[in-house]
Amino acid sequence: MVKTKENCPLCKKPMQKLYSPFCSQKCADIDLNHWLGGNYRIPSEPKNEEEINELHNSIKETLDQK
Ligand SMILES: [Zn+2]
């Protein structure tokens, strides 16, 4: 139970390095569409990579709760 292997946050299939953290281009696109489509509220424009990662993590948590 201590496996660190990550799964796609969208469909839970094993992650592919190429599309990290997703399993495929499709899931990466879905995530991107969520961003662009305004399904997620972005409080302020992310200014650096750290903020973007933080935001991305909160999105992943939201998806995981489903
Ligand atoms: Zn996936």
14/8 Cα distance (integer angstroms): 6
Ordered by start, the domain boundaries in the chain are 17-64
| Residue 4 Cα to ligand 1 middle (Å) | 17
Task: Find the largest Cα–Cα distance for the chain.
Answer: 38
19/28 Cα distance (integer angstroms): 7
| Residue 53 Cα to ligand 1 middle (Å) | 18
pLDDT at 18: 93
Q: What is the pLDDT of residues 9-65, one digit of tens each?
A: 989 999 999 999 999 999 998 888 887 776 555 555 656 778 778 878 887 888 887
pLDDT at 6: 87
- Residue of 31, 25, 16, 23 whose CA lies nearest to 63: 31
What does the CA dihedral 21, 25, 26, 32 come to, rounded to 10 degrees?
70
| Residue 23 Cα to ligand 1 middle (Å) | 4
